[in-house]
Structure 1
Amino acid sequence: MNMTFLDPGQFTARLDLEAASSTADWQGGAVTAWTVAASLWARIEPANFTFAETAGQMRGQLTHRIWIRAREGVAEGMRFRKGARVFTIRAIREPDETGRYLVCLCEEGAL
């Protein structure tokens, strides 16, 4: 197994990790509120940009790999926020199975 080496200076983005909580709106639906679960340092790498046609319009989708130090409680469906930018977590993996880092595959702007 090859160990992944990252210079700690590459973790330059300060992100808020947010978790969703839904409450009933008493009209048959739910209201989703996002609360900050943690603030952490991360490394953001653009990964892919694709175009898709939605409702007759071309829409671009940008994905990123966001590296963070390993921690409990990070799950798919949570999101990172950096100011007005939102990165929804779609998949999580350990790059070298040493328990030091997590790599989150995220979509920017996705809800």
Structure 2
Amino acid sequence: MNPIGAGTLARRIKIQRPSTVKDSLGAPSRTWIDVATVWADIQPLSGREAVIASRISAELTHQITVRYQSIFDNPQQVAQYRVLYRSRIFNIHSALNEDEKRVLVVLLASEGLDDG
């Protein structure tokens, strides 16, 4: 694996985790908490359309490359995270620790079917 230059990681993203809070009526409500703000490279991989609730929705898959952080060590936890880039939301499905060297992490994510 070749080291990645700083110029390649040109997009500033936020990694968020879900949290449940109670609203004013005491009902549980999901909110998102920032875990980290990092530089990343976002590359599209594929796209498809799906019919959901009698409506056609587009889903795009992406590969998001970031520098390693310990927050990516637990795969079950990472699969609950999402990435926020500008107004775009990417649902993370998995984190691949390239060559198990703890240098780069490739996040496989989708965009388009829900708000994370």
Q: How does 1:90-105 map to 2 (within 5 A)?
A: 90-105=93-108
**2:7 counterpart SS class:** helix
Determine the C-alpha separation between the residues in 2 that align with 1:82 and 1:54: 25
Q: How does 1:57-76 map to 2 (within 5 A)?
A: 57-74=55-72, 75-76=78-79
Letter in 1 for 2:71: G
Determine the C-alpha separation between the residues in 2 that align with 1:33 and 1:69: 26
Preserved CA contact (<8 Å) 1:4 1:96: no
In percent, how many aligned pairs have the same letter? 27
Aligned residue in 1 for 2:18: 20
Aligned residue in 2 for 1:46: 44
**1:73 counterpart SS class:** helix
Where does structure 1 lack aligned partners over 5 or more consecutive residues?
Answer: none
Where does structure 2 lack aligned partners over 5 or more consecutive residues?
Answer: 73-77
Q: Which has the higher helix share?
A: 2
Provide TM-score, normalisation by structure 1: 0.85
**1:61 counterpart SS class:** strand
Runs of 4+ in structure 1 off by over 3 angstroms are 24-29
Provide TM-score, normalisation by structure 2: 0.82
Preserved CA contact (<8 Å) 1:17 1:39: yes
Which of 20, 30, 33 is the matching residue for 2:31? 33
Determine the C-alpha separation between the residues in 1 that align with 2:109 and 2:2: 20
Preserved CA contact (<8 Å) 1:19 1:78: yes
Give deviations 1:27-66, integer Å, cap 9, x for gaps.
7852011111111100100011011122222211011100
Aligned residue in 1 for 2:75: none
Provide the aligned C-alpha RMSD in A. Answer: 1.9
Letter in 2 for 1:65: Q
Letter in 2 for 1:107: S
